[in-house]
Structure 1
Amino acid sequence: MGQRGSKVQVTGTDRAILQLKVSKDEIHKYTKKTELLINNERSRLKEMIKNNPKTYKNNASVRFLLKRIHYQEDLLQKASDQLINLENMVSNIEFKLVERRFVEGLKSGNEILKKLNKELANADELMDDVQEQIAYQNEINDILSRSIVGVENFEDEIDRELDDLEQEIIGKPISIDNMPSTEGLPKLEQEIPEEQKIPGETKITEGANRGKVALLAD
C-alpha cells in the first residue's frame, strides 16, 4: 500500500473565510435571480398597461405588480450592499493573513540574522590574529636577511642564486649580463672598405711593401 499524503491543516480562520465566500456566492446568485425576476415583471407590467391603456391605473393587479417590483428592487439593493460588505470583509481578512505571514517572516529573518551575528562575533579577533601572524612572518624574514654577515643586498643575492639554480636545472641559456667582460683585450684590425680609403694611401702602402721585399732579397 502506498503512503498517504499528509493532510493539510485547516484552521478556524480558513473555515471562516470559506463560509464568507460561500455566503457571498449565494448572495450573488440571489441578485442575479432577482434582477431577472424584476425584468420579467416589468415586461409583464408594460404589457398590462398596453392592453388596458384607460383603466390600468385602477387595475389592482397592475398596482400590486408595481409594488412587488419596488419591493424586489429594495431587496436587490440590500443584497448588493451585503455582497459589497462581504467582499470587503473577505479582502480585509485575506490581507491581514498576508500581513501576519509577512510579520512572521520578519521575525524569522531577524532570528536568523541574530544567530549569524552571534556566530561571526569573533570574526574581528580572527582577522587580527591573521594579521599578527603575517607581521610575525615578515619580521622573521627581515631577521634572517640581516643575519648574513658581510653580504649586502641579500635579497638581490638570493634572486641571483635562484636564477643560477634555474639555469642548472632546466639548462637555461646564460644571460649576456653574466658573460665575462672583454675590456683590456687587444682589438682586431678592421678592414677598411675601398670606398672609404684615402687616395694615394694605396700607393704609399704598396711602395713600402716593395721596399720590404727588396731588403729581404738582399
Structure 2
Amino acid sequence: MGGIFSKKEKAPKSAPVSDQDNAILALKTQRDKMKQMVKRKENCLEKERQLAKQLLKDGKKDRALLILKKKRYQENIIDQTLKHLSKIEQMVTDLEFAEVQQRVTEGLRQGNEALKRMNQLFDIDEIDKIMEETKEAAEYQAEISNMLSGQLSNADVSDVEKELEELLAAQVPVDLPEVPDHEMPEKVAEKEKEKPRREKIALEA
C-alpha cells in the first residue's frame, strides 16, 4: 500500500538545450536526408543503365541516349550532393568540437575559481606564523634540555633514564599465569600412593 501512495521520484532535470545543440541537430537531420537521397538515386542509376542496354537491343537508340543523359544528370546531382554532405559533416564535427572545448574551458574556469578560494583560506602569512611558533617551541625545549643536562652529573642522567624506563614498563600490563583452583595431577598421585601405606601402618598398630 505504501508503494501505491508514495510519491514518485522526480527524474533529474536535463540540461537546457542551447542554440548550438539545435544547430547540430538540424545539420545531422539534413545530413541523414541527403544520405537517403543519394542512396535512392544510386539505385535508380543502375536501373537506368540496364534500361538503356535493353533499348539498344530493341533498336531504340534515341530512347537509350535519352536515358543515358538522364542518368548522367543524376550522377552530377549525386556528386554535388556528396560535396555538400562532406561540408555538412565537417561543420557538425567543428560544432561538436567547439562544444567540447567550451565545456573544458568552463571546467578550467571553475577550477581556477575554486583554487583561488582555497588560497584565500590558507593565508601564507598565517602559515609562516605557525611555522615560526613551532620552531620557537622546539628551540625552547632544546634549551631547557641542555640547561638541565649541564646541571646534572652523568650518574644523575643515568638514574633519570632508568626511572623513565621503569615508568614506561609500569604502563605495560603484565599477564601473569592464572593459579589453578584444583590440585595438580602429581599431588593427587602422591596422595594415592601414601593412602595404602597409612592404612597398612594402622592395621599393624
Tell me the equivalent position of 2:128: 124
Cross-structure match for 2:105: 103
CA offsets per residue over residues 53-73 of structure 1, 9 Å max, x none?
A: xx61xx2x2222111111111
Q: How far apart, CA to CA, are the structure 2 residues paired with 1:169 and 1:24?
A: 82
- Partner SS state of residue 104, structure 2: helix
Q: What is the CA–CA distance in structure 1 between the aligned matches of 2:57 and 2:49, rounded to whole Å?
A: 12
Shift of 1:2: 1.6
Residue 86 of structure 1 is matched in structure 2 by: 88
| Counterpart mapping for 1:1-218 below 5 A | 1-8=7-14, 9-52=16-59, 56=61, 59=62, 61-120=63-122, 121=124, 122-148=126-152, 151-152=153-154, 154-163=156-165
1-side partners of 2:44 and 2:171: how far apart? 107
Tell me how far 1:164 sits from its aligned partner: 6.2
Q: Is the 8 A contact 1:27 1:83 kept in 2?
A: yes
The runs of at least 4 consecutive aligned structure 1 residues that moved more than 3 Å come to 144-148, 151-154, 160-170
Distance 2:140 2:103 in 1: 53
> Which digits, 9 at most, give the CA deviation of each residue in 1:179-218, with x for residues without a partner?
xxxxxxxxxxxxxxxxxxxxxxxxxxxxxxxxxxxxxxxx
3-state secondary structure, aligned to 2:11: coil
Larger deviation, residues 75-84 vs 134-143: 134-143
**3-state SS of 2:66 partner:** helix
Work out which of the two has the higher radius of gyration on C-alpha atoms and give 1 or 2: 1
Residues 1:67 and 1:166: Cα distance change in structure 2 (over 3 Å): closer
- Unaligned segments of structure 1, at least 5 residues: 171-218
Partner-residue secondary structure (3-state), 1:46:
helix
Question: Relative to total residues, which structure has the larger helix share, 1 or 2?
Answer: 2
Q: 3-state SS of the aligned residue for 2:8? A: coil
Contact 1:145–1:154 (CA under 8 A) maintained in structure 2: no
| 1:160-185 Cα distance to aligned partner (Å, 9 max, x none) | 34456678999xxxxxxxxxxxxxxx
The residue type paired with residue 104 of structure 2 is F
Structure-2 separation of matches of 1:92 and 1:157: 82
CA distance in 2, matches of 1:88, 1:28: 15
Q: CA deviation at 1:106?
A: 1.5
What TM-score do you get using the length of structure 2 for normalisation?
0.69
Deviates more, 1:27-36 or 1:156-165: 156-165
Q: Distance in 2 between matches of 1:167 and 1:68?
A: 107
Contact preservation (8 Å) 1:20, 1:90: yes
Q: Larger deviation: 120-129 or 24-33?
A: 120-129
How many pairs were matched up? Answer: 163
- Matched-pair contact (CA < 8 Å) for 1:145–1:155: yes
d(CA) in 1 for partners of 2:43, 2:105: 46
Q: Percent identity?
A: 30
